[in-house]
Structure 1
Amino acid sequence: MLLAIDAGNTNLVFALVEDGVIRARWRIATDPRRTADEYAVWLHQLLALEGFGKDDVKAVIIGTVVPRALHNLEVLATKYFGVEPLVAGRPPVEWGIELDVVEPGSVGADRALNAIAAHTLYGGDLIVVDFGTATTFDVVDYSGAYKGGIIAPGINLSLDALVAAAARLPRIAMEAPKGNLSVIGRTTEDQMHIGIYWGYVAMMEGLVARMRAEIGRPVTVVATGGLATLFDKHTELFDEIEGDLTIQGLAMLYRQSLSPA
């Protein structure tokens, strides 16, 4: 099986993939100081709980937007799984899609992987909305080329900044509105929920509408990331929701690397 590792700014996701099917996945907070030994102790226990062992892992591929985390993940693969890891975007697993932007080298691995997976799964012109540390909107055209996009502050990042800057505001959990959908809050907590939740809905709908107009062709909007389903409750914005889009992209990139040039 393939161990696919998606190292994001907030979390690392480890997933076991077999024949394109995700058999198990685990998440841990990103900490570039975490050693390969620490990863191994944690991961081996989780593998055992799911009925797997380290010998079931035959290959490792890593996608990361945290360069400092890469070395210890590579050591994890070589020392504890006995395989030479592949790194997404680095030979021999280059993207295989056109990054049609001014600075292709600055495109995050997660955004390129999302583009690969979304194009393979859905085709046509696409807008991919990814709810991560940042909320990103990426445009992929009908040929599979990555055309650019938008970076906005992530939902939890916005909440943290609001609470940190305003001494009397409480820390709240992000959740979808229930029952009454009024946008006039009667308590401080209600007003914060409204500001973040409906503020993000309005932002997403407005930005996607502008992107659609600029693209000028029918577009499929694909959402990924943990909060995608939260917003899908009260907007018709998303045509497809795929929570594992980045992992899917890693698995697809790995399969491409096995094909003869």
Structure 2
Amino acid sequence: MILELDCGNSAIKWRLMDGAGLVVHRGRADDLESLIAQIVDLTEAVSRCRLVSVRGLEQTKSIVDGIRALGVRPEVVTPSAALRGVVNGYDDYSRLGLDRWLALVAAFNRCRAACLVIDIGTAVTVDYVDTSGRHLGGYIAPGLPMLRRLIVKHAASVSLPDLEREALQSNLAPARSTSPAVESGCYLMLRAFLNERLSQADSELGSSYRVFVTGGDAVIMNAHPKVIIAEDLVLDGLALALP
């Protein structure tokens, strides 16, 4: 079995793969302690561990040490200028976030065509890859959690717990109370940003390209006809980086 870990800014996603490449178990943990609790009974079957982290060196080291304490030695992916047919588009390739890099590598290898790769999580990233596998660059913007926190920080009458209990509304008519008004406003801002990036893709990538969306709030793009929701895009890229 292979244990794969995606250590993002807000949570740690993990999955356990069998020898045929099928997902046997998966989960999501808020911190190292809860991760260990979820996987401790599975590690006897683990022969290998792959890990990607966008956290700082100390936090990443803590996670690696925690996994090692279970008798599993993680292999940690590092930046690269090119991988699996994709050329990193940053001036300094080591500065491109590893989650973005692995996601766009996985997307291109899935379709072998021009693609727009969107990750909607704590932050939102948008990246363009042309038909030859050349990364053209991208954008970073706040996701819904960041937008909510920004409102809370500057508006004392709004509380984060109230916002976190609000579901995205299917009816985006003007709200009649503060929490749904904030939630709808943040949602509409994010959706407008993403729709504009999709419009730009025609000029960057031509008329024929794929759109891959991943991340905790990928559902925002569900209704778009071109979108392919790819839940494990970063982990799929991790498997390509450390085959």
Q: Say yes or no: TM over 0.5.
A: yes
Aligned equivalent of 1:248: 236
In 1, Cα distance between equivalents of 2:79 and 2:188: 40
Matched, 1:224 2:182: no
Aligned amino acid, residue 177 of structure 1: Q
In 1, Cα distance between equivalents of 2:35 and 2:230: 28
Deviations 1:30-78 (A, max 9, x none): 4xxx5xxx47852444xx3xxxx32211111111111322222332344
Structure 1 segment 1-261 matched on structure 2, within 5 A: 1-18=1-18, 19-30=20-31, 38=33, 41-45=36-40, 48=41, 53-66=42-55, 67-83=57-73, 85-89=74-78, 95-96=83-84, 97-171=86-160, 172-173=163-164, 175-178=167-170, 180-182=171-173, 184-229=174-219, 231-233=220-222, 235-236=223-224, 238-255=226-243
Aligned residue for 2:158, secondary structure, equals coil
> What's 1:258 paired with?
none
What CA distance in whole angstroms lies between the structure 2 residues aligned with 1:13 and 1:95?
22
Q: What is the TM-score when the length of structure 1 is the normalising length? A: 0.81
1:228-257 alpha-carbon deviations (Å, 9 max, x no partner): 12x135x426520011111111122222xx
**Residues 73-109 of structure 1, C-alpha deviation per residue, up to 9 Å, x if partnerless?**
33234442343x2211269xx8443212212110111
Q: Name the CA shift for 1:168/1:144 in 2 (closer, same or farther; >3 Å).
A: same
Unaligned runs of 5+ in 2: none
Please report how far the alpha carbon of residue 190 of structure 1 lies from its aligned counterpart in structure 2 after TM superposition. Answer: 3.3
Output the CA distance in 2 between the equivalents of 1:218 and 1:238.
10
Q: Letter of the aligned partner of 2:158 in structure 1? A: L
Q: Is the 8 A contact 1:20 1:251 kept in 2?
A: no
Question: What secondary structure does 1:121 align onto?
Answer: helix
**Letter matched to residue 166 of structure 1:** A
User: C-alpha separation between the residues in 2 aligned to 1:61 and 1:169?
Assistant: 41
Distance 2:106 2:35 in 1: 28
Gaps of 5+ in 1: 256-261
